[in-house]
A and B are shown apart, each in its own frame.
Chain A
Amino acid sequence: MSEGTESAGERKTATVWDNFLRISMREAGVAIALVIIVLFFSATAPYFATPENFLKIFVQIAINTVLAAGMTFVILTGGIDLSVGSVLALCTVVGATIMVREDLSPWMSIPLALLACMATGAACGAINGWVCEKWKLPSFIVTLGMLNVASGLARVVSDNSTITGLPQPFVDFGNQIYFGVLPSIFLIAIIVILIGWFILRFTVFGRFVFAIGTNEEAVRLSGHNPRIFKIAVFTISGLTAGIAAMVFLLRLNVGSPIAGIGYELNAIAAVIIGGTSLSGGKGSIIGTLVGACILQVLATGLQLLGAEDNVKPIVIGTVIVLAVVLDTYRNRYLRKLEAR
């Protein structure tokens, strides 16, 4: 009712400034927090600001980043995927089982293992999505079920044991470091993030992910079938769990049915710290990468400061909640900005 009172010119300039504020508040906001935390530890913690330490952080970040990339898709539609940790475990034993077969050359077994990991993960995810949509169940329950099912399957496939003896070229690639500070597995994580960013930003599919998270009923009444897209995001989450399983094998060189316990919670934490709303429709995958960095930088920094192991989870837990609290203030401020 108030529009049309200001001249278009005034509005245009206000919009440029508003856009700047909006971008700095949303995308850059988390990044600024990360920079502050890094600077803080660089100043206070011994050895923090060394190439070796950054290398270590990059190595440790890779698995969670890949998992969180897929998780971002699910959370953007308003769902949640609690199964990624044990799906990862299942995929590690599937991948490792293939790679340790002596009748296959490494150049056969490695691509085959990669394919098998991705297919297994995607299948688990597709089942999650399909069950959710078929019986209209909350994803929290369905993926909680899958968490247990995949964990059990991992034990069955591995016969309850860890699988070692992966082919040497595979192990070598996992230890590869580029330009002194960029480990191969970190590069994989970055590539996954970039692909995710591209899909969310430039494709029709990405648009639907945001639209469904914003208002699923409106999407349905606009003549679309949201179910297909929701099944797809869970499939993507499963797929990234499969890729994360390969990263796990590259880094630790063992397939284990008890791998990945609690990984889903770290992935969710990275997504939420990265500014994606749990109710869907708002967020970014770049934010997720930054969120994963913040989690790991905190863990490493606290360790270097000599904090006890018991203190670390207390600090990290507080930061997760704090991030969401800050997010509500940020949203309130942005809404005020837009209402002008």
Chain B
Amino acid sequence: MTTDPHEVAPVLEADAAARHNQDAGPILRLQGVGKRFPGVVALRNVSFDIQRGEGHVLLGENGAGKSTLINLLGGLFPPDEGSIWFNGAPYSPASPLEAFSKGIRVVHQELNLLSNLTVAENLLFEHLPSRRGLVNYREMNRRAAELLAEVGLDISPSTVVSRLGVAQMQLIEIAKALAHESKLLVLDEPTATLTSKEVDRLFEILHRLKERKVTTLYISHRLQEIYEVGDRVTVLRDGQHVTTEPLKGLAIPDIVRLMVGRTVTDQGVFREDIKPTGEALAVEGLRLTETSPPIDFSVRNGEIVGIAGLVGSGRTEAVRAIFGADPKASGTIRVNGRPVAIASPKEAVAAGICLMTEDRKQQGLLLEMSCAENITITDLKRLSRKGLLDRAMENAASERLVAGLRVKTPTIFQKVGTFSGGNQQKVVIAKWLYRGSSVLICDEPTRGIDVGAKVEIYELMGQLAAEGKGILVVSSDLPELMSICHRILVFSNGRLAGEVPRAEFDQNRILSLAYEEYGRVRGN
């Protein structure tokens, strides 16, 4: 794949080391692995090896397929095609428990601790020391204390987990993985919540594990730190394998270049004819917490502004705060030049702002209710006189929007829970069009939607912009933002790291901005 001259020697060294090893051959081998979800191909023909005892780093943009891959390893679901070999044998776990008993331990980013139990109980939960069904607390606490010492946590084993901080919980998760002899330890963004001192501690542990020949698969957004734990790196892009090569000699800009380069396929949806005017939405000094950096930006009428950034970079948090869905510490918001006080979604909607949430099913729709009922829920007053609903009016309004947005449904009385992702998203758009909002905030508007429906959604956004609405689009799909937006704001680790106008759109530059703040944190 690459012609980097640095590559040759270390590979030969690794081969030599493997030959000396008794169980020669890679610990994990993926061959042509593919996985589809409704509307998206998450992994496509991925093949690579992880060598025994190495520190392997897995990189890729949002949506590149990293999570799908580790979920396959963790036994959450099987691949649709291809095969996985672990420790020389075919590997197809039916459950996380089976994955774990075969020696693969996945430490997920979101913590899976039992928060009402003690640290010791959590650490040894899979195999509590017991005699005749009674828990041997003394033995349990003794072993837990050992594990805590190993990860350098100075807390009592009998502390209840819910009283710990997030970083401490993260270390508990890692200690839990140490409690059981695992051959492959998968760490998904373990340092996201840790301070630099705790990160150092984690790396010490990882070095020690390496001496014990434990293989690690390490996923992180902080590109600086991967050099400390990784021997080789695998890069995924768009669900496909890009390269697997030694980290030595690979500089951060090289890595970023490997991660970007997705082709922009949805050309032609950008509306050159729209000339944005006025100010639809202005955000000044928005702080999510007292200590977070202020966020300032604006969206003009007829303009589509993208927000790029890694998952967890504060994109979703910012738009939810603007909409009043979550509380904010401070900040001024103006709609069409008028300052508005927004403390709840109700006030935001009244001011003309709407939010299409990233999670359609949980937050956007009434899945068990009809298409018409979902559309009109944003403004029932308009359909009623003295509290009585006018159903004929409701049906007419819904029919009009369903036809206008080309929602595919036999009748407007169909439950939206039975719709495809693309049609559900259209219903979400319809409900806000029905409300007549002037500022549309769309969080991941095309997630889980097939390509044809995506283009329809883009065209719809262009049309709405042409009608003078201000549109803010949060997306993990960079090519998508580049094809539809006038400008892209880039969030990085809670900060608005920069703004890129359409004339200067460049994947490399945007992604570098998105990773910018994560490098600095390590330096502190």
Interface residues of A (CB under 8 A from B): 1-4, 8, 11-12, 15, 202-205, 207-208, 210-211, 214-215, 217-225, 281-282, 338-339
Contacts and interface: CB of A to CB of B under 8 A. Distances in A.
Contact of A222 (B384, B388, B431): B431
Given A204-B389, A215-B363, A221-B357, 14 more contacts: A8-B410, A202-B389, A203-B389, A204-B383, A204-B384, A204-B388, A211-B366, A211-B377, A215-B365, A218-B365, A223-B345, A224-B377, A281-B368, A338-B418
B36 to A, nearest CB: 11
B411 A15 contact: yes
Contact of A217 (B344, B362, B408, B409): B362
Contact of B368 (A202, A207, A214): A214
Given A202-B388, A220-B345, A225-B346, A3 B363 contact: no
A208 B376 CA distance: 11
Interface string B390-417: 0000000000000000001111001101
A214 B367 contact: yes
Nearest to B377: A222
B373 interface: yes
Give the 3 A-B residue pairs with the shortest CB-CB distance, closest first. Answer: A223-B349, A11-B410, A214-B366
B380 A204 contact: yes
A3 B349 CA distance: 32
A222 B384 CA distance: 17
B377 A219 contact: yes
A interface: dominant SS: helix
Contacts of B348: 223
Interface of B: 38-39, 323, 325, 344-346, 348-350, 354-355, 357, 362-369, 373, 377-378, 380-381, 383-384, 387-389, 408-411, 414-415, 417-420, 423, 431, 435, 450
A223 B389 contact: no
A204 B365 contact: no
B368 A223 contact: no
A113 B388 CA distance: 31
A211 B78 CA distance: 36
A205 B435 CA distance: 18
B458 to A, nearest CB: 19
Nearest to B365: A218
A282 B417 CA distance: 14
A227 to B, nearest CB: 10
A68 to B, nearest CB: 22
18 contacts: A1-B450, A3-B419, A3-B423, A12-B410, A15-B410, A15-B411, A205-B387, A210-B369, A215-B365, A217-B362, A218-B362, A221-B357, A221-B363, A222-B378, A224-B346, A281-B369, A282-B368, A338-B417
Contacts of A281: 366, 368-369
Contacts of A339: 418
B415 A3 contact: no
A222 B156 CA distance: 46
Given A4-B408, A15-B410, A221 B364 contact: yes
